[in-house]
Structure formats: C-alpha cells, structure tokens
Structure 1
C-alpha cells in the first residue's frame, strides 16, 4: 500500500517571487497530486484571493506548460482555464490564477450530469485542438507523434520486464507495428492528460487545468486515457463526448486509438510499479487483460 503523503513545503525563494507579483501570502496549502514529483501549492492572499504555484517536474514540462499558457490556453476562453501571471525558469515555477471548481473525479453526480461534464470537457478539448494554425515545426512534431509513440514501445517493454508474458509482448509489438501504418490523422494541440482529475467542475461550468503535457500531436491521443477508464464502463459518456466534438473519429483515428491503448498499457506497467502508483499499474493490467481476451476470441 502507498504511505501517507507528506505535505511539501513551498520553497522560500518561490514564495518571495510569487509575493512580488501578488502581494503578501497569508496561507499556503499543498495541492500536489498524490505523486512524489508533483509540487503544487494554493496561495491565499488578503481578502481570500487565491492563486496557484506549480514547480514543474522537468524542464521539458516547464517549457510545454509556459508555452501552452501563452499561446494555446487562451483559446479556451475566459474562466475556462487558469491564467499565467508569471513564470520563473530558474525554479521551473509558474504562478497561476485560480479558477472555480473541484476535480470532476471527486464528483458523484447522476449519469445525466456526468454526460454534461463530458460534453463540456469535449467542447473545451475541441477548442484546444483547434487553437490556431500549426507552424512548420509544430506540424512536423504533430505528424510524427504516432511514430514517436511507436518508438517508445520497445523501451517500455524492456522496462516492464517480467511483468509481461511473451504473448502480451507479442500483442504490444503487433499493435506498435500497426500504429506505424495508420497513415494521416487530424492533428492539433492536445491537452496530453485529458481526464477528470484535470477537469474542474463548478456551477459556472467546466475548466481545464494542468497543461504540462500540452503539445502538438495527433488529436486522437487526447482520448486514450478516457478510453481505458471513464468510457470503458460508461459508453454513454463516450457518446456524449463525441457528440459534442462535432464529428465521429475517422477510421484511421479509431485504429490509432486501439493501438495507442495497447501502448498505454505497457507504459502503465513499466511506470506504475516503479513509481509506487497502483492506480496506473491497475489501469495497464486491466487494459492488457481485456485486449488479450479479445485477441483470443
């Protein structure tokens, strides 16, 4: 079992930097995800004004997130995502405004309300996917994203080691090869971690947070986590999401999604156990067990 998460202190230098922009901070709350490299704090100022400070786990994520907030996130509209107040490359820190709501994963609404959540999440994802024309470099990265996912398969297989059977390894290699042959699919800017923990739900509507994985890529990559979690047991939520998107996935996208699902499973089984993350590990194992049964039919 995972141990009790220890509260992480806000670095003094980061606090001083934040206060130079927002004034005195009267209270700090650790708002990190339950992962040892997640570092996020809620700051409260005078009059109960709130902001968030996030220290990125890597330079790559810091660059992606700051770029997303400056050039992509504004397409979501006012109140549908935090606003970047400032960034500090020295500490890989971003200072963000707060948006109302609680993570949708903590909700217990009726099915009809969940469908409404998915419709709004889809509407925001569609805006993100179409957030301006891709320049030459971004288009090249986006069009190479499926090949990049394929290239990572062998690395994940090696890392997973004896957590996989030989038949499972063959299934993964087969789908990696198929993904390489999918052909052109629609591309754009994706959220990269599109799931209810990053959807904030409030009476004002839905907002998206956490853009450290936002990048140019095949749009269908934003559906992978939903496909192996939310939608697996609730196909009505999938229908609600796709109806709000305005079009059905193309045949190539559906084929790519199945292949990406397989690669997500091996990624989870390589990463989850080493990072003491049983939820991610269970996601990968459930997906792989299901696909192995389907392939045996």
Structure 2
C-alpha cells in the first residue's frame, strides 16, 4: 500500500491528489508552518506541480481559487504566474503547474531595481482588469482594525488608545476597488534568468490599488529608496494619495503586530511595532 503524500493533509485531500496524480512523489514541502496551509512540490510522470491544501480553519484557499479563475490571465498568458490544473473548493485543495525560478527574497534580485520595475509593470496589469466603486470599504476597514485592537496584543496600551481615538475620527469616503494580490513583496516573487514571476494568491481580493504598496513600503522601499523609484516607474501613476495612504499604513501596521503575536512570530511582531511607530511619527517603544 502506498504511503500517504503527507500526514497533514485530510483523507479527502490525499484521495484527490492520488486521483489527479496517481504516481506523485513529494519533492519538497514549501509550507511555512505558522498556519495550517500545506504547500507541496510534487513530481508526476516527469512533470512538477504545486499542491496547496488548507485545514479546517483556512480562509485563503477560496481566495486563491477565485484569483486563479478570475484574475490571473494577464500573468499566466505571459508565463508569469502558475496555471491552475485542478481544484476542489470543498476539500480546500488546488493543484497548479510548477513555476520555475528562485525566490527573490534573500537573493541578489531582492535589491535589483529591475526586479521592482518588472513587479510594478505586472501589478499595474493586474490592477487594470476592473474597478468597482464601494461606499462601505473605509467603514469596514476601520471596524476591522478596531477588532484587531480588541484582540490580545503587545501594543503599548497608551498607543493603542491613541490609535482607537484616531481611527474613530477617520473619514469614510467612497473607495474604488481593483483586483489586488494582497501580499505583494519579494517572498512571493520568483526570478528566472532575470524574469520575474508571481506566486501565492491566498490574500487576493478586491481592494484599493494602494494596498498592494504597503508591504514593500514597510520593508524594501524603506531600506533602498531607489527600489521604490523603479517600482513606480514600472507601475505608472502612483495611487498613494496622502490621507488614504496614512490610513493604509496604520491598518497594515496594526494587523501585522496583532497577527504576528497570535501566531508567535516575534520578529514579524517587532516589525509591526516599528511600522506603527513610524506611521504615527513616534520612536519605536
């Protein structure tokens, strides 16, 4: 009897993978380990695939599948994102072709301006697919961050009270939502002989375009401003109007600090505290 592909997959997920790829063998486990998502690189009949499976608490597989079915054409048509092969939304399992390349994060490409020029061009094509007005977006986002601040965290209590008071006074103007990646940064980019490709769509959703700038602004742009210049040159007109950008930075900072505390990622939690301090103009506490 064949050994299960991974004990962390459900019986139904293993059954489906054996049906889809009968002779599959695991080459590498790409799972992060912080959440219940399992990501496996598989070999079947000489071809490589990526299988992604969610656990009972997962909310990302549905978003990833939506992205594959509705938004990835501008990238897959150029070979810049993986093609969806099979999926079962009830089982929280999807299978894509393997996309060749080296992870940009931690490679020399992470600090190469041309990487960011390409990333800006790719993101602009993604964002241009549709635009949907939403009068309630800002209200929802304000409530989401207030909910985060009500969860266990290690944000200084005085600063947390200051944030709650500021958020309560924020305006709630109409927003325009576009398809966004949701985690646009080098850990989700591959480089293959100088060509940038994109992976991981578990946070894809309709949001304002500027939200795909926040993680880069908190990390690589902060360390090397020339990368931001290259990115915007590839992207086109910068969507970061000052007031909405300030609100986006606060939301991202709070989300980072609270989520990282919940999953026990202390280094990422400290980044969140630094992001909060910078967004409100304080020295990190």
Q: Aligned in 2, Cα 1:34/1:59: closer, same or farther, shift over 3 Å?
A: closer
Deviation, 1:294, is 4.7
Is the 2:38–2:54 contact (alpha carbons within 8 Å) kept by the matching residues of 1? yes
Of 132, 148, 153, 1:156 maps to 148
Q: Which has more helix, going by share of residues?
A: 1
From 266, 271, 279, the equivalent of 1:283 is: 271
2:3 aligns to what? Answer: none
Residues 215/105 of structure 1: CA separation in 2 closer, same or farther (3 Å cut): same
Distance in 1 (CA, whole Å) between partners of 2:238 and 2:93 is 38
- CA deviation after TM superposition for structure 1 residue 204, in Å: 5.6
- Give the whole-Å Cα distance in 2 for the aligned partners of 1:249 and 1:268: 22
Match of 2:138 in 1: 146
Deviation at 1:256, TM superposition (A): 1.3
Whole-Å Cα distance in 1 between the matches of residues 194 and 18 of structure 2?
A: 28
Q: How has the CA–CA distance of structure 1 residues 24 and 266 changed in structure 2, closer, same or farther, with 3 Å as cutoff?
A: same
Cα distance in structure 1, aligned partners of 2:42 and 2:14: 9
In the alignment, does 2:47 pair up with 1:41? Answer: no
Which residue of 2 is the match for residue 236 of structure 1? 226
TM-score if structure 1 supplies the norm length? 0.83
Tell me the secondary structure at the aligned position of residue 272 of structure 1.
Answer: helix
Per the alignment, in what secondary structure is the counterpart of residue 242 of structure 1?
helix
Aligned equivalents of 2:63, 2:109: Cα separation in 1: 33
Structure 2 unmatched ranges of 5 or more: 1-5
Residue 99 in structure 1 maps to residue 91 in structure 2? no
| Separation (CA, whole Å) in 1 of partners of 2:86 and 2:124 | 26
- In the alignment, what sits opposite 1:198? 188
**Stretches of 4+ aligned residues off by more than 6 angstroms:** none
1:189 has 2:187 as partner:
no
How far off its partner does 1:89 sit? 2.4
Given that residues 86 and 96 in structure 2 are in contact (C-alpha distance below 8 angstroms), is that contact kept between their aligned partners in structure 1? yes
Query: For residues 218 and 263 of structure 2, what CA distance do their matches in structure 1 show?
Result: 20
The CA RMSD measured in Å over matched residues stands at 2.6
Counterpart for residue 123 of structure 2: 125
Contact 1:27/1:45 (8 A) holds in 2: no
CA distance in 2, matches of 1:117, 1:160: 37
The count of residues paired between Structure 1 and Structure 2 equals 277
Q: Distance in 2 between matches of 1:195 and 1:280?
A: 14
Aligned residue in 2 for 1:4: none
Q: Which runs of 5+ in 1 are unaligned?
A: 1-6
Per the TM alignment, residue 171 of structure 1 is displaced from its structure 2 partner at its CA by 3.5
* Structure 1 residues 259 and 158, CA gap change in structure 2 (3 angstroms): same
CA contact (8 A) 1:56 1:92 kept: yes
Residues 16-50 of structure 1 show CA distances to partners (whole Å, capped at 9, x for unaligned) of: 42343344113342111241323111101232x11
The verdict on how the C-alpha distance between 1:110 and 1:42 changes in structure 2, with shifts beyond 3 A counting, is closer
Higher deviation after alignment, 153-162 or 265-274 = 153-162
2:23, 2:160 → 1: CA distance?
A: 55
Shift of 1:259: 1.4
